[in-house]
Amino acid sequence: MNLSTVLLRWYDVGARDLPWRTRPSPYRTLVSEFMLQQTVVATVIPYFHSFVERFPDFAALARAGEQDVLGLWSGLGYYTRARNLHRAAVAVVEEHGGALPRDEATLVTLPGVGPYTAAAVAAIAFGAQTFALDGNAARVVARLFAVAEPIDGPAARLRLRARGQTLVPRLRAGDFAQAVMELGARVCVAGRPRCASCPVIAHCRAQATDRTDVIPVRRVRAPKKIVRVACIAVERAGKILLELRPAGSLLGGTWTLPAAEVDAGESEPAAARRALSALGLRRVGALRELGSVRHVFTHRDVTASAFQVKATGRPTGSSELRWVNGRDLVSLAVSSFTRKTLGLLRDAPVRAAS
């Protein structure tokens, strides 16, 4: 029995009951693929439910304001995905009559849609006989074919996709794409794969040659940049001042505490005072240290120290600023990093900063 037949039978019996699979549509497929980029399924599910309830189709999403979209994305991370999904919806409505294009060549012209997403949507939503190569699929193909070269270079990924393409059945290409993803997520996992549970173990060359622990091979990555940041919680009349991060910057389009990166040789309190000075506000009372949190981004390992201060005056500067209370945070685009720093206001004992 060929590999695709075996894998599809396994998928039919044990596929996870996921919301984008139970009531599939091109729109729901595209939303799920955007959300699943660099994010695990369990995290995505509640966000997906809320998002499609608020924006049930391309027209509703295209009409929405960007801040409304980012607000529902709040905490999911990688906010460029949300902005691109919004822009893609606008393009579908304005350029394609509200219908998602069916072919990969046109799909890849939409904002935020790369080769993988285009292939996944074409296969899952429209049954196109194409292979979608994400991280899970790359790992599966590398082991099936015992690929010994690093899999994370562009040329290598093209070769992996070509090998995967040879496995795609003429019928049920969308189910096959999801079956490969499912296999990579649940069985052919990174590190120690669960080979005893693998439905296609008879087809796996890495397992046959006892190399599943060393395949796939990846290039050595440069270490993440270590960054220290001082965040300042400015209070006035029971509200906290938040700053809208500019588009294109880290956490662009989300609301954060005003902050300053700590320079070499500078203390965190000094950086906090510098951040306050940049706002044009007058400090009232002592600058109090709340504690620190660590947050690992894709390319940065950030330790943020938070400080609390009462201030008066009208904030100045070019950034967009807003005084908010706890209720306001529900509707604002606030990242998980910012939620961590705001959590220090509630949880950490305060102490005078030096």
Domain ranges for the chain: 3-208, 225-352
Q: What percent of the chain has pLDDT over 70?
A: 97
pLDDT in tens, 250-285: 888 889 999 999 999 999 999 999 998 888 877 777
pLDDT at residue 24 tops 80? yes
Cβ neighbour number for residue 204 with a 10 Å cutoff: 22
- Evaluate the CA torsion angle 160, 296, 36, 106 in order and state its sign: negative
pLDDT in tens, 231-257: 999 988 888 999 998 877 888 888 999
Q: How many residues appear in the chain?
A: 354
The DSSP letter of residue 234 is E
* 113 within 8 A of 89, measured Cβ to Cβ: no
* 324 within 8 A of 249, measured Cβ to Cβ: no
* 132 within 8 A of 116, measured Cβ to Cβ: yes
Sequence-distant (6+) residues with CB within 8 A of 112 are 34, 80, 81, 83, 84, 85, 87, 88
Task: Output the CA–CA distances (angstroms, integers) from residue 99 to 68, 113, 125, in the order listed.
Answer: 23, 16, 12
Residue 48 is encoded by which pair of tokens? 């997906």
Q: Is 104 a catalytic residue?
A: no
Paired residues of 241 in beta bridges: 323
* 127 within 8 A of 173, measured Cβ to Cβ: yes
Residue range 168-172: mean pLDDT, rounded: 95
pLDDT in tens, 301-333: 999 999 999 887 778 765 688 888 877 777 788
pLDDT at residue 352 tops 80? no
The CATH architecture to which 225-352 belongs is Alpha-Beta Complex (3.90)
The band of 220, judged by pLDDT with boundaries at 50, 70 and 90, is: confident
Q: Can you give the pLDDT at residue 350?
A: 45
| SS3 state at 319 | coil
The band of 287, judged by pLDDT with boundaries at 50, 70 and 90, is: confident
- CATH 1.10.340.30 is the classification of domain 3-208: yes
| SS3 state at 311 | strand
The band of 74, judged by pLDDT with boundaries at 50, 70 and 90, is: confident
pLDDT at residue 18 tops 50? yes
The band of 152, judged by pLDDT with boundaries at 50, 70 and 90, is: confident
* 312 within 8 A of 284, measured Cβ to Cβ: yes
* 44 within 8 A of 76, measured Cβ to Cβ: yes
User: Is the whole-model pTM more than 0.85?
Assistant: no
Question: Pick the catalytic residue: 33, 104, 182, 268?
Answer: 33
Among candidates 285, 297, 291, 300, which has minimal Cα distance to 343?
Answer: 291
The DSSP letter of residue 232 is E
pLDDT in tens, 36-57: 998 899 999 999 999 999 999 9
Q: Can you give the pLDDT at residue 318?
A: 59
Burial of 157 (0-12, 13-18, 19+ CB in 10 A): middle
Residue range 330-345: mean pLDDT, rounded: 86
Task: Output the CA–CA distances (angstroms, integers) from residue 120 to 104, 207, 354, in the order listed.
Answer: 9, 27, 54
Q: Can you give the pLDDT at residue 153?
A: 85
